[in-house]
Structure 1
Amino acid sequence: MRSKNNEETSIALYEIEEESIFVLKYSEKNYEIKLQLVKINKESFIRIIAQEEKKIVNYNYQIDMNKEDFIKQDNILLRPYREIQEIYNFITESFNENIVSINDIKEKISFNLMIKGKIIGYKKPLTFIINLKKENCGQDDKEEMLCRRINELEKENNNLKVKVNSLEEKENKLELKFKKLEEEIQKLILYNEKNKLNEIIQSEEELRFIKNRLLKIPGRKNSNVNLELIYKMTEDGDSIETFHSKCDNIPNNLVLIKSSSGARFGGYTDKPWYSISSVGVHVEDNNCFCFSLSKNKIYDAIKNKNSIYNSIYWGPFFCNLFGIGGPNNFLSSGGCYDYSKSNSYFSGVNTPYEINNGYSEFKVLEFELYHVVFE
């Protein structure tokens, strides 16, 4: 490596014992400061090299100072340090403590570093100026700068590749999340469409139609009516056993059905449903009524007559109007019953099976049971 002193150039062997690199800003530019502890022909020096960061030029600013050079300065900041290693450590620590700054740059002439420190007993901070001179770079220096810059560019390129890979990975994850979100949206759309197809109460008017009739029950006139869903066949299944496990012993319940004929109807009873033996039991309920949402019609229970039928094999059963379940043990089957008017249990029935559009048997597309809460 070539070492330059003023205008003379000589060949000297030197060994770098320690090296630290710092970056300082001056006039909107960054400058790389290389601080080295070197041995030149077995004599210890502190070498400081400065040049604009990430820029390849044919010169830099440089100074080599041995112990005597520093002692001659007779600077108060340096007095505690008498050995070259101690001075090197002091300058390094000054950089780390951010008390080193660029004092002045005379383009292609000189480069001044200033260390500013405080000493006990002195009111004002003390300074120490290190003056670097412009040095033309030799071929080796240029090659070193070029290699270093190439390495920096390669490092930057690798960092960019890592960032690109990270962004691509994030993009892939986002695409996967987006795809899953789209799938969930499609499922929700299908679910909503399916529910809409099986929706029983289809408007606020139909809900008011039912609630207005509930408010005509003796003692319920000024009540607030709330419906709490207990059972929904398309979600809870069509097992008679499951129905009884979830719905037995609940008074004040409302039944809603949508049948394969397209009819939508239901019934209300104060009485709870029970799992009774296969013979079954008829129950009287003067507050019971059935209704057709399709026909906007009410069928009131005839007083002092049976209104509902409880059996282990059946779900909700409103005597001669309709019932679901039966010996097959599934809620998905239902039927209507054509009792003569003289033996009818509900008023307002004009034609056979009219609540189900004239069909005696039907498939249950949807069945819901609500607990009616009067407040």
Structure 2
Amino acid sequence: MPKTTQLKCFFGCVIDGPLHRFPKWEYPHTEKFEQWKSVLDSATQERGNSYIYNSIRICHRHFEDYFKSPSRRLTGNAIPTLNLTLPRSEQVMQPQQLKEVVPITSDTLQLEAESTTLPSALPQTQQIVQPSTAQFPVEEPSTSSFLQFEVDTESRALSNAAPKKRCSKQDSSSSAVNRLTLKLNKLRQKCRTQSKQIKAAMKCAMSKPFLASIEKLPATAQTFMKLQLKWKKTPRGRRYTIEEKIMALSILKQSPKAYKLLEKMFVLPSKRSLQKLLSAFTIRPGINKDILENLKKLVLRMPEEKKLVNLLFDEVSLAPGLIYNAFSNEIIGFEDDGTQKTGNIADHALVFMIKGIKSKTKQPICFTFVKSGTKK
């Protein structure tokens, strides 16, 4: 990783000011990292996310003023949008430049041969005929005719001497031009696709009124607004983050019927995708230590009066039966208190929960499967 003092702006800016590092490419900053990465050229993008994060910096000239804070830091939604052009020395060669490459042919060799002069052979190449001076004017020999004749013979000798070299040079130059042309076509197509995506994202997400209104909303409302921005995609093409699924799952658990109605009106994950999310978590009988750890963190931020709770327990009758859980590879339906499992088939479930005295807090902390109900 290069030293901090050696880092410069990716766009070659020579200006005093802070250099901003790329966000982490891992969750939950993946989307922001991809937006930053899109302003780089394809060669830099191919070097990998780790190289970009450690070695590439962007100065403050490429960010709007409303992305900058008084402490010279950037806001959480800052994206480079200004002065995104590289210096001329770093730009990729355009197709018009490739068209100017001239292959080596016999014509170019002949033109070069015309610039040579061989005066030693001049007296032997032409004979002068002198007729009667009474009928024709006497013409002295001109050097241009000697030069023309000698250049023609020299060019023929050069053309017959090395035809194989000319063919090999011509073939290699044409193949190199073809390879560069194909590469440029691919890069041009990739650039067009990325530019369309950037324009669409900037048109929606980079407007000042939209950003100002989103920042003022609560975290849950911001998540819901981001969900609605996916309405252009087909239902099978939508991808949801963990925060979005958790928000939708909280609505589903409050009222499944209401969620069914909201799913038709707004962009929300399907019930099947939420069920897959729940199946990834296994809750076993007994005291749940994860719930107790989260309660400890929650109590630290609660006032004293809301810490007063009651410990309740209730039982529910179950239809006796056995179910095989393929995910955990076990049979469910026997007596189980979290520490040991018996061979008796359970027909009741006991649940222990806490309920706030001066608050509406309700949280189950333990459940067990038993064979019979609690005796009075």
TM class by shorter-chain length?
under 0.3
Which one scores higher on RCO, CA 8 angstroms, separation ≥ 6?
Answer: 1
* TM-score w.r.t. length of structure 2: 0.22
* TM-score w.r.t. length of structure 1: 0.22
Higher strand share: 1
Q: Which of 1 and 2 has greater Rg?
A: 1
Higher helix share: 2
